[in-house]
Amino acid sequence: MENREETGYHLEDTDDFGLPESDFHPIDREEEMPPQFEEPRYYVEEEDESGKGWIIAAVIGLIVLVGLAVYLFLFNGMDQVASWFGEEEPVEQVIVATPEPEPVIEEPVVEEPVIEEPVVEEYPLAPYTGIERISAPTGRTFVVVASFVDYDLAMDYARQLEAQGIGSKILDPTSRAPLIHRVAVSDFETFTEGSENIDNYRAEYGENTWILKY
């Protein structure tokens, strides 16, 4: 009985009330935080820009490949590409021989003799004025345009010519033609001159025109 009281007294007298010693610390209220709830976050998916970049790069690469293929197969680009990597073909030098000019042989100039044509003196087709009678030979060559057996007939024709502005000379008969009176419209010094000009008188007075040395 006494032991219990002592024991009880002893328990009441001690600070720990007979409990085993423990290291107790006051609770730090500041460390104990009430539970916190995070607000829900909403995420918006951002477009992947890198994906678009790859697509654009692929399209550009495809265009470049198509253009290169067109150049190689349509514009003979294969030869040019091959020339970039192959050896340059040596350029053959073509030497064209220039023929020497043949020597020019100058031929001697032979002067042809100048043949002087005889100058035919042109005479007027009607050099006479009026009517004149020639009764004796003169040695000249006359251009006869008409012949008559009578002097009066010869005079009539001479007057017709005078009316046309053509003078004449009436040649009396000779021993070789005692009845013939001739009407002449011109005369020459020589028979040759008369022969060279007779065609002009025939064209003017007719084909029956002739020359007579009287």
Question: pLDDT tens digits for 13-49?
Answer: 555 555 555 555 555 555 555 666 565 555 555 555 5
Is 84 a domain residue? no
Inside any domain, residue 19: no
Q: Which has more confidence, 112 or 185?
A: 185
Residue (of 132, 115, 141, 157) closest to 198 by Cα position: 141
What confidence score (pLDDT) does residue 27 get?
A: 56
Structural domain contains residue 11: no
Kindly state whether residue 126 falls inside one of the protein's structural domains.
no
120 belongs to a structural domain? no
pLDDT, residue 86, reads 54
Tokens of 98: 């220039």
The DSSP string of 126-171 is: ----SEEEE-S--S-EEEEEEEESSHHHHHHHHHHHHHTT--EEEE
- Residue 204: inside a domain: yes
Residue 209, pLDDT above cutoff 70: yes
Give bridge partners of residue 213 from the DSSP assignment: 141
pTM of the model: 0.44
Q: Give the closest residue to 192 by CA, choosing from 134, 118, 115.
A: 118
Phi and psi at residue 51, in whole multiples of 5°?
-65, -40
Q: Averaging pLDDT over each range in 49-53, 99-103, 137-141, which range is the top one?
A: 137-141
Query: Residues 43-92: pLDDT tens digits?
Result: 555 555 566 778 888 888 888 887 777 766 766 656 665 665 555 555 56
**Model confidence pLDDT, tens digit, residues 166-191:** 999 999 999 988 999 999 999 999 99
The answer to whether 139 and 102 have CB atoms below 8 angstroms apart is no
Q: What is the pLDDT of residue 81?
A: 59
Burial of 153 (0-12, 13-18, 19+ CB in 10 A): middle
Overall average pLDDT of the 79-107 stretch: 65
Number of folded domains in the chain?
1
Query: Residue 154 pLDDT more than 80?
Result: yes
Q: How many CA atoms lie within 13 A of 179 on its CB side?
A: 2
Q: Which residues span the domain enclosing 145?
A: 131-213
Question: Does residue 88 fall inside a structural domain?
Answer: no
CATH number of the domain to which 140 belongs: 3.30.70.1070
**Does 63 map to a domain?**
no
Taking alpha carbons only, the member of 119, 131, 142, 109 closest to residue 213 is 142
